[in-house]
Structure 1
Amino acid sequence: MTQQFRPPAVPLVTVDPYFSVWSAADCLTDKHTTHWTNKRNSMSGMVRIDGLTRRFMGITDLDEESDIPEPDAMKQTSLEVTATSSKYKFVGDGILLEVDFTTPLLLDDLDLLSRPASYVTFRVQSIDGKPHDVQVYADITGEWCVNTPDQKIVWSRNEIGSGIEALRMGSEQQPVLQQVGDDLRIDWGYVYLAASKSETTQTAIQSYKLRGHFIESGALSLQDDKREPRAVADDTPVMAVLFDFGAVNETVKSEYAVLAYDDIHSIEYFNRPLDAYWRRSGMSFEDMLAAAFSQYDDIIGKCETFDKALRQESMEAGGSQYADILSLAYRQAIAAHKLVLDENNEVLFLSKECFSNGCIGTVDVSYPSIPLFLKFNPELVKGMMRPIFRYAGSEQWHFEFAPHDVGCYPLANGQVYGENKLEYQMPIEECGNMLIMAAAVCLSEQNADFAENHWELLTKWANYLIENGLDPNNQLCTDDFAGHLAHNANLSVKAIIGIGAYATLCRMLGKTEDMSRYSVTAKEMAGQWTAMADAGDHYKLTFDSADDTWSLKYNLVWDRLFGLHLFPSDILEKEIPYYAAKQNRYGTPLDSRNSYTKSDWLVWCASMAASKDDFAKMIAPLWDSLHESPSRVPLTDWYDTVTGEQVGFQNRTVVGGFYIKLLHPLNV
């Protein structure tokens, strides 16, 4: 099989934290497809060629009592993961089958970005010079709309307009916005499988034994199952589509299906349910689905154009391995969010802290993710910050520093991290993050109105950093898995750059005296930092630790991007070579305490390397970790640099930080 890059898991349907399906295998036929939580969200795909059935996706799972054998798998010859698509090719019995999974997450089109519709395109052609009779079958199970398989579901079919056949399934109870937590799947709303009506297209809602019927006959049993409601685990219901391509020759024939999810309400925002962004003008789900069909050719064309342009830019910036990494990270970084509007019709872009604690709108998860969104649509960075500003300015928040989060997904009703106890807060971390994010988005837009609208809080946080940031007391930072740490040198860097970021905002708003005062303060603090952290050929982990300690000083990247020049240039001239010297098989550890690393911070440090070649050398072990890791999960950002194995975290938006090499200096 031609597969230059083997992702640890392949994104198939990636819309939001709930509507998310992956293949954690080398070949699409090796395993059941899963939700990002690793729970089964099964899809099955088969093709019948001249009366002989083969598998190209998933496992049929027919009863042991069945005398119908599992069809042999087609030979998968290639897999290409682009920013918006995952493209498989299979060969067998004289035909080539291409299966493309496309979720059009184009960041410059918020209607399309928020649309809960994903495409599966099937293309077939003869490759042996002979005509072949071909039928393609695909289905999804009721697992997609429940959290646990003991939950009961109901189903129905609906004709949309005169040209779309839509099948749907949903839980019987419909507990809208009731489930709260991390390792959860949605159990409200309705999942859809839809296809254009034609004489050569059939659809059915049946037991999963429908797969056996297709294996034997090449057709569907067209009588829908009437035994509803029932538990998903009980004779698992599936929704299926069959495309009869008829006689296939060298000319490519194609068909597509749309997978969609109506979540009814998406987020609860300070005790008010909010709908997805695409619904803001009253569009019905049926109209949205019809638009997904009518715009198919245009959308697929835009996705292909974007994917090619992004890969070209990525290769020019960092080489082919960097381009592979960015393509894999793209959909994951976006689909860990939900896009909604608040009561003022302002964008909210709320993340889920996946495979961690399920927090919503986490500041130190947003912070590493922003390079992707600064690059393509800074409005989404504002959408990450607005909930924090609202909460921090309310009577609910009693601290002088910035909050960590605004709740647990999908409820954004106030911070839940650490039960709001002071010892579990991240005072320097979150103040620095909010100030840096504010400066980044205002510089990207060359307009500081957004910061001015929240000036009182930003000023409070900048002053907090002046008073407390140079030598942080014992507290958590974003790398909270490593525990509390006092005198953290990298956290001090964040505080200093946060003050410098505030000075930049003062300049943009014409506050000349304040700009001068905060700039001077930040510069003086940077000078003190240099003396306190100096260990000769590198800089220490903490100000009071031995000279042989060290850490990745990833926060320094904004000194360059903002053009602050607070820290001497020779710091990086020491630090970057030192990181290279500490590199293990799969990258440089986060610090001297452990062999694990954070991939987002690794890329930030690599982006500060003196040359493209040096950058590529620091990136290569990360590429290797993805290509070789035994941990078959959606992209993890926390892994061991010796073994390549996942330590924790997966499917998090922080991988948007990989895009930092594509950012140019913002302070122009």
Structure 2
Amino acid sequence: MTAFFGRLAVGATWTLTLATLLPPAIPLAVRTPYTSAWSSTASDGTLSSQNPIFWFGQGLGWQGIVVVDGNSFEYMGRSINDLPELSYFNTTIPLEVKFDSQFSNFTFLAGPVLVTASFFSPVTPKDICRSSIPLSYLTTTVQSSDGKPHHIQFYSDVNAQWIGLGSEYDIIKELHTGPASNGTGSGNVTDSPMSWILRPRYPQLFAEANQIPRWGNFSYTTSPKGAEGFSFQSGSATSVRLGFVNNRVLNNDAGSVTRGFGNQEPVYAFAHDMGTVLETSVRYTIGSIQSPNVRYLHKGGLSNLAPWWERCYGGMHDMIRFHYYDFDTVAQLGNQFESQLRTDVNTFFQGGEPPVYRNDQYGQQYEFDPSSAYGYLQPGNATGIAVPFVSEAESYYAIVALSARQVMGAYVFAVPPDATGDAVEPLMFQKEISSNGNINTVDVLYPASPFFLYANPALLKYIFQPLYELQEGGFYPNTYSTHDIGTHFPLATGHVEGADEYMPVENSGNSILMSYAYYKFTGDTAWLTSHYELLKQFAQYLIDYSLVPSAQLSTDDFAGELANQTNLAIKGIVGLQAMSAIARVAGEADDAALFATKATDYYDQWERYAIDPSGRHTLLAYQWRSSWGLLYNVYFDKLLNMGLVRPALYDMQSSWYAAVSQTFGVPLDNRHHYTKSDWEIWTAATCSRTTRRLFVNAVAYWLNETATNLPFGDLYEVVGAGDYPLSIDHFSARPVVGGHFALLALGRTGQLAGATGGDTTGSLFPRNGTEHLPVPEARVTDPPCFDNAILHF
């Protein structure tokens, strides 16, 4: 089933073809930190009742109108509010919205026709060239609903808000036509793409204003192909739009534009006259393009890096042209990813869901009372259960389908400095969207890592390469792992003074665990051993400081410093266990024995410090009796089947979470009533099936019911309206939603999310007979999970 406008009742009929829930914002064009457009659904908003927004929340001018037999209907934007009331200009009637991992499709009624606006941001993690393209597609289709042909025309425009500017004085524009075009823009003279290109008149390299780049270009492209008439125009918003509604054609004037704001701001428009048809469509591409795209500190000095797409496709116009004509091919690749995703979700949950209990003859068996803030209670013993009557697989598919574009949209790919030869691999750079804008933040990559382990582990290597080059090149003075490689994206200029955010145990453990996970999922011994000395340095820091960590930040830095954090300590201890395996891979037997002994000894001590005297749960901090929190850092012990954490501890925690759940899930810890959706799914992967379903369905329930208004937020209240926490930045559009793939990454290793941590049933997602992790016989294993042929989509 598809999601209709307005919040859906939990438990509606559903199919794994498309998601049912209606999230707070739906992705439109999401490809990079700067190509990131969304449609907010807050207050029952729709694509046809408000402007698209940037991930930061500000509006973006992106307008869409169809004309049916002379009557205009607006399907995107709200320009109808700025024009005189006209009998022949109306808004469309929204019918439904669908989304999967690739597409967001909005369907409207416009008189006697159906209008579908299909937004496509390809998620093709194994195709690096295509993944590096910063452009997205919009295909608008009109189909007769009465069986009769109709005269159809299309209009669309964009404004300069995409480059953060509102007046013509600040803009240089270009109407670029391909080499086959005669440049007139009138009639069906060519199928060559035509692009509006906008850029700041006074660019500031690598600078931002309200998160929008102040350098580079913005491109809006279409083609006259299939149109009986094609026209274009730039000018003030009111004059261009009103002129089209009245005349149903643009004047082919790409000249000067009146300065102004609001309804007098400059816009850049295309129009297609498709003639009288039963069905027709028009395609646009859109995106923000930067070259160079990153400033990078390395042994050779400071370099401005070229985007990876230049290596693949050449100059900007060549890339735009390739992308425009690549739609059918990349749609097939995207469909392969989407089909595999749906298959893997079905396979993971097949036979693995706990029973869904129904009402009995005495009434409701379950109490679900969001008004009292209690979560999913079973009367009689107050244990948590999932929202009744909802399939966990359906909820989980909706979560990961919505997350896929968001996680890939936080990265850019760049050519390494002094790159030569065919064997060059890209560097990947992540913007810490919404929080502080750091670049390649280790503790943001850590929660996002399950997506990469599931989709293409090589991407982890591309992200880690600049992190390790920084420290191995002598640009970081501390012995522990750096927090990031630059204070603000896209400046990867490091922290040569060592004054980055202080998370030494957090990020040292993160780096070791993710490096070992990359090896386990690829078998890439050479890469792992090439960084052995740096990883050993991090491990020594964990030996010195992880068992009883001093007051410091964890990845949840918004919660502040805390001494003796139980969850932070176990990360370091599991990291030492992983380091023992890394040492064996590197042939360092003495190191392997030392790290294994330390991990085992520390774990035994940790249990004595960490478990509440009641024996019901672990503590948030050793010294704080009755405190508790999500123990998500045991996930890697289970994922990599290292066997360090006792099965009884998994079972104990699983029972505890069920007892403290709230309306929208389990709080992050006892200090607040907010949670993190990424950590909830990580934790779900370590729990019993019943508790796992509690977490999964709670996240889906929040998505459908939250009062937030921005892209998928990972930090929110579990009570009330599920709003953003007070006094904390609104976390939205962050790449940490890659953590929602924690169950699918677990499935890659052949494991189910059973409470004991050893619920292994063989390969869930077989890949050409490759080996998977065995049930642990000892506390350390080191063979790779699979051969190098990762992900056969």
Q: Conserved in 2, the CA contact under 8 Å of 1:167 and 1:205?
A: no
Question: Paired residue for 2:735, among 624, 632, 653?
Answer: 653
Q: Conserved in 2, the CA contact under 8 Å of 1:329 and 1:656?
A: yes
Aligned positions of 1:520-531 closer than 5 A: 520-531=597-608
Q: Which residue of 1 aligns with 2:562?
A: 485
Question: Paired residue for 1:33, among 52, 57, 69?
Answer: 52
Q: Which residue of 2 aligns with 1:358?
A: 437
Matched, 1:304 2:382: no
> Which amino acid letter does the alignment assign opposite residue 59 of structure 1?
R
Q: Conserved in 2, the CA contact under 8 Å of 1:205 and 1:225?
A: yes
In the alignment, the residues of structure 1 paired with residue 88 and residue 26 of structure 2 have an alpha-carbon distance, to the nearest angstrom, of 24
> Which amino acid letter does the alignment assign opposite residue 338 of structure 1?
V
Q: Deviations over 1:305-363 (max 9, x none)?
A: 32233123224435011100111111111111111122254422111111111111100
Change beyond 3 A, Cα 1:310–1:232: farther
Change beyond 3 A, Cα 1:84–1:459: same
Deviation at residue 291 of structure 1 after TM alignment? 1.1
> Which amino acid letter does the alignment assign opposite residue 302 of structure 1?
L
Q: Which residue of 2 aligns with 1:275?
A: 306
In the alignment, the residues of structure 2 paired with residue 660 and residue 349 of structure 1 have an alpha-carbon distance, to the nearest angstrom, of 21
Q: Which residue of 1 aligns with 2:37?
A: 21
Change beyond 3 A, Cα 1:614–1:312: farther
Aligned positions of 1:158-237 closer than 5 A: 158-162=176-180, 163-179=192-208, 183-198=210-225, 199-209=228-238, 210-227=240-257, 235-237=264-266
Q: Conserved in 2, the CA contact under 8 Å of 1:32 and 1:41?
A: yes
SS in 1 for 2:91: coil
In the alignment, the residues of structure 1 paired with residue 586 and residue 193 of structure 2 have an alpha-carbon distance, to the nearest angstrom, of 53
Question: Paired residue for 2:629, among 542, 551, 572?
Answer: 551
Q: Conserved in 2, the CA contact under 8 Å of 1:150 and 1:233?
A: no
Aligned positions of 1:429-468 closer than 5 A: 429-468=506-545
Change beyond 3 A, Cα 1:148–1:46: closer
- Larger deviation: 114-123 or 361-370? 114-123
Q: Which residue of 2 aligns with 1:2?
A: 4
Q: Conserved in 1, the CA contact under 8 Å of 2:716 and 2:723?
A: yes
Matched, 1:111 2:190: no
Q: Which residue of 1 aligns with 2:756?
A: none
Deviation at residue 70 of structure 1 after TM alignment? 9.9
> Which amino acid letter does the alignment assign opposite residue 649 of structure 2?
I
Deviation at residue 448 of structure 1 after TM alignment? 2.2
SS in 1 for 2:241: helix
Change beyond 3 A, Cα 1:533–1:460: same
> Which amino acid letter does the alignment assign opposite residue 294 of structure 1?
Y
Q: Which residue of 1 aligns with 2:383?
A: none
Q: Deviations over 1:552-592 (max 9, x none)?
A: 01010111111111111000101012111111000100011
Q: Conserved in 1, the CA contact under 8 Å of 2:80 and 2:89?
A: no
In the alignment, the residues of structure 2 paired with residue 541 and residue 69 of structure 1 have an alpha-carbon distance, to the nearest angstrom, of 63
Q: Which residue of 2 aligns with 1:53?
A: 72
Q: What is the identity percentage for the equivalent residue pairs of Structure 1 and Structure 2?
A: 28
> Which amino acid letter does the alignment assign opposite residue 546 of structure 2?
G
Q: Conserved in 2, the CA contact under 8 Å of 1:347 and 1:380?
A: no
Q: Deviations over 1:481-534 (max 9, x none)?
A: 110000000001100111111112122233333223212221111111111111
Change beyond 3 A, Cα 1:304–1:202: farther
- Larger deviation: 484-493 or 613-622? 613-622
Q: Which residue of 1 aligns with 2:764?
A: none
Q: Conserved in 1, the CA contact under 8 Å of 2:166 and 2:266?
A: no
Change beyond 3 A, Cα 1:397–1:321: same
SS in 2 for 1:166: strand
In the alignment, the residues of structure 2 paired with residue 623 and residue 71 of structure 1 have an alpha-carbon distance, to the nearest angstrom, of 38
> What's the TM-score once normalised by structure 1's chain length?
0.94
Q: Deviations over 1:185-204 (max 9, x none)?
A: 01222211111234433333
Q: Deviations over 1:437-456 (max 9, x none)?
A: 10011111012221211111
Deviation at residue 56 of structure 1 after TM alignment? 0.5
Deviation at residue 151 of structure 1 after TM alignment? 7.0
Question: Paired residue for 1:639, among 716, 722, 728?
Answer: 716
In the alignment, the residues of structure 1 paired with residue 293 and residue 260 of structure 2 have an alpha-carbon distance, to the nearest angstrom, of 24
Matched, 1:601 2:679: yes
In the alignment, the residues of structure 1 paired with residue 342 and residue 229 of structure 2 have an alpha-carbon distance, to the nearest angstrom, of 37
Change beyond 3 A, Cα 1:151–1:429: farther
Change beyond 3 A, Cα 1:402–1:147: farther
Deviation at residue 97 of structure 1 after TM alignment? 1.1
Q: Conserved in 2, the CA contact under 8 Å of 1:33 and 1:43?
A: yes
SS in 1 for 2:90: coil
Aligned positions of 1:227-266 closer than 5 A: 227=257, 235-249=264-278, 252-266=279-293
Change beyond 3 A, Cα 1:608–1:128: same
Q: Which residue of 1 aligns with 2:638?
A: 560
Q: Conserved in 1, the CA contact under 8 Å of 2:407 and 2:738?
A: yes
Q: Conserved in 2, the CA contact under 8 Å of 1:539 and 1:575?
A: yes
Question: Paired residue for 1:121, among 139, 148, 154?
Answer: 139
Q: Conserved in 2, the CA contact under 8 Å of 1:151 and 1:232?
A: no
Change beyond 3 A, Cα 1:16–1:566: same
Q: Deviations over 1:165-222 (max 9, x none)?
A: 222111111222133x8x4201222211111234433333232121112222222232
Q: Which residue of 2 aligns with 1:338?
A: 412
SS in 2 for 1:564: coil
SS in 2 for 1:72: strand
Matched, 1:586 2:627: no
Deviation at residue 387 of structure 1 after TM alignment? 1.9
Question: Paired residue for 1:571, among 619, 644, 649?
Answer: 649
In the alignment, the residues of structure 1 paired with residue 201 and residue 714 of structure 2 have an alpha-carbon distance, to the nearest angstrom, of 37
In the alignment, the residues of structure 2 paired with residue 212 and residue 500 of structure 1 have an alpha-carbon distance, to the nearest angstrom, of 67
> Which amino acid letter does the alignment assign opposite residue 24 of structure 2?
P
Q: What do you get for the CA RMSD once the two structures are aligned?
A: 2.1
Q: Deviations over 1:112-164 (max 9, x none)?
A: 00012211111111111222211121111111112676971121211113122
Change beyond 3 A, Cα 1:321–1:306: same
> Which amino acid letter does the alignment assign opposite residue 215 of structure 2?
W
SS in 1 for 2:619: coil
> Which amino acid letter does the alignment assign opposite residue 601 of structure 1?
W
In the alignment, the residues of structure 2 paired with residue 253 and residue 29 of structure 1 have an alpha-carbon distance, to the nearest angstrom, of 20
Deviation at residue 477 of structure 1 after TM alignment? 0.7
Q: Which residue of 1 aligns with 2:112?
A: 94
Q: Conserved in 1, the CA contact under 8 Å of 2:69 and 2:150?
A: yes
- Larger deviation: 351-360 or 207-216? 207-216
Deviation at residue 626 of structure 1 after TM alignment? 1.1
In the alignment, the residues of structure 1 paired with residue 86 and residue 214 of structure 2 have an alpha-carbon distance, to the nearest angstrom, of 32
Q: Conserved in 2, the CA contact under 8 Å of 1:637 and 1:654?
A: yes
SS in 2 for 1:170: strand
Change beyond 3 A, Cα 1:281–1:94: closer
Q: Conserved in 2, the CA contact under 8 Å of 1:348 and 1:387?
A: yes
In the alignment, the residues of structure 1 paired with residue 85 and residue 262 of structure 2 have an alpha-carbon distance, to the nearest angstrom, of 21
Q: Conserved in 2, the CA contact under 8 Å of 1:447 and 1:508?
A: no
In the alignment, the residues of structure 2 paired with residue 63 and residue 512 of structure 1 have an alpha-carbon distance, to the nearest angstrom, of 73
Query: Paired residues, what number?
Result: 657
Matched, 1:382 2:461: yes
Change beyond 3 A, Cα 1:231–1:512: farther
> What's the TM-score once normalised by structure 2's chain length?
0.80
